[in-house]
Structure 1
């Protein structure tokens, strides 16, 4: 679908304060993480609710099929700190071809095509229907103190409220948890142990004929995916990065630090993480009801 606004940055705010999850005796109650199948159920129900709401506002909305084949092991991958898989690098380089495929897939999305086909005035109305009108009615503070806002009206907020019941609590928990991966990345690359491990990697890259101080510097020097390096050059650079990551020890150090800082952030923001999980688990019966009702209605047609 055309982009739904999940949060708009408002201003820098004070440090995050979240409500802890505890029982009547004040003791922490463990909350399990939803399974991938349960998350898929929630996503499916959300899409069905969005379709219902958008149609009620006079707009079409298509639910992208969720039974498409899973990506192959050599398909899109995220190398957060450094490419550390020579086999993947030999096949994909820096993934410019995969990025172009992803862009083409987005451009062929029926919701995006529908939105772009609308007259200008109808586009604005569709965005208001999806994201809600101004002013902002929801606010949430991320762990770095940045404040985000979103309308508490519109189809996205209606769908979230139908599923999670407590819309402000959901928006706050989601905002907090969604911010953690970027904070984790910043902590890892700012860690003195990572910076120390980068030095032998840079020396290895220099010996291979590539003068880069960090993997981030390589990313910044790459051309856009639509106008990539010649394939042989892209693959050669990616292979050098991967081999040097393994030979220098940078890959192992980055993995260790990623786990360390990830666990630390989970502890620091445990209440927000568990609040999100609890809201998701509580929403599952409602999600299943939404799906069952949609299937009944589909069977009548």
Structure 2
């Protein structure tokens, strides 16, 4: 079964989550940091804007419109799909992702993902009847135009890197709406993006974070858990979630990917894991606060952002000014 979520949406969301980690709100400009918000977080908040459910829905509609135009050029009819349910995270009612309130209600967002992000309503493909009326060869051509040609990798074990240019009409439309014109799509910003990714990965090596990490581990041990880091705690849940949901099972190589239906997870096991997830996440978050780990990580990130801002701040501010001017001229 093909996914109807553009692959670039996932990549985009991941990039935003990384780049805005620790961001506490809008600042009105990419200015040097205050005690709460680092200059990079302020910058990405400025150029990325604050999107609400209405904005997200408009983006989804625009993607579908572009896909329909593209498919028409390829010789196919395409009926735009309705925007997907955005769940709780598409409203103003969701608690902060890194808060104790979130952990107590939704854990790490694994077993609670449908509630948080939607997906509880069964998806209805408006193009289903149209595609069903085609021959097998025509269907293959339709999906190749929509998602890009399916090619077997030379190394089946190698990770396939997503490339919007080979992802058909969906890839091109998603790129135009979600990625084009963004700072991470600008080749001139590549050095910054690479260095920033490296710096984020090195935050755990900060002396203050390392010291607080030990106190955090002792705290969760008192709560009955054996984890060395918060990342290890959350990853344990996500790994178990993939297993319970059957995501770690390989598809039969002889199965038809167009009609393949993944295994149905055991509802009782999912419910059991949800209870475990919330318990682990709650202990994790409480210990991050009481051990000083959350503060140490925030302080380390703030220092890192200030270092990078000193190096790239003028370049980033120029990008922000150009983006603002372009948006104004387009109105």
TM bucket, shorter chain: 0.5 to 0.7
Structure 1 residues 148 and 98: CA distance shift in structure 2, 3 A? closer
Please state whether the residue corresponding to 1:33 is helix, strand or coil. helix
Check conservation: 1:173, 1:272, Cα contact below 8 A.
Answer: no
Structure 1 residues 3 and 281: CA distance shift in structure 2, 3 A? farther
Alignment partner, residue 17 of structure 2: none
Which of the residues 207, 226, 243 maps onto 2:286? 243
Structure 1 residues 112 and 199: CA distance shift in structure 2, 3 A? farther
Structure 1 residues 95 and 164: CA distance shift in structure 2, 3 A? closer
Alignment partner, residue 105 of structure 2: 91
Map Cα deviations across residues 245-264 of structure 1 (whole Å, 9 max, x no partner): 11100011122223333444
RMSD: 5.1
User: Could you list the runs of 5+ residues in structure 1 that have no partner in the other structure?
Assistant: 8-29, 80-84, 135-146, 289-301
Measured after TM superposition, the shift of residue 185 of structure 1 is: 3.4
Q: Distance in 1 between matches of 2:177 and 2:92?
A: 35
User: Could you list the runs of 5+ residues in structure 2 that have no partner in the other structure?
Assistant: 10-42, 151-160, 246-268
Q: Does 1:189 align with 2:191?
A: no
Structure 1 residues 188 and 130: CA distance shift in structure 2, 3 A? farther
Which of the residues 195, 212, 222 maps onto 1:207? 222
Check conservation: 1:131, 1:153, Cα contact below 8 A.
Answer: yes
Q: Distance in 2 between matches of 1:258 and 1:89?
A: 22
Measured after TM superposition, the shift of residue 99 of structure 1 is: 1.5
Measured after TM superposition, the shift of residue 74 of structure 1 is: 3.9
| TM-score, normalising length: structure 1 | 0.57
Which of the residues 19, 26, 48 maps onto 2:65? 48
Structure 1 residues 65 and 166: CA distance shift in structure 2, 3 A? closer
Map Cα deviations across residues 189-238 of structure 1 (whole Å, 9 max, x no partner): 23333222100000111122212111122123222064444554433322
Map Cα deviations across residues 7-35 of structure 1 (whole Å, 9 max, x no partner): 9xxxxxxxxxxxxxxxxxxxxxx996254
Please state whether the residue corresponding to 2:221 is helix, strand or coil. helix
Please state whether the residue corresponding to 1:200 is helix, strand or coil. helix
Q: Distance in 2 between matches of 1:127 and 1:35?
A: 34
Structure 1 residues 211 and 204: CA distance shift in structure 2, 3 A? same
Bigger RCO (CA 8 Å, 6+ sep): 1
Alignment partner, residue 37 of structure 2: none
Is the strand fraction higher in 1 or 2? Answer: 1
Q: Does 1:260 align with 2:303?
A: yes
Structure 1 residues 180 and 37: CA distance shift in structure 2, 3 A? farther
Q: Distance in 2 between matches of 1:36 and 1:282?
A: 18
| TM-score, normalising length: structure 2 | 0.53
Aligned positions, number: 246
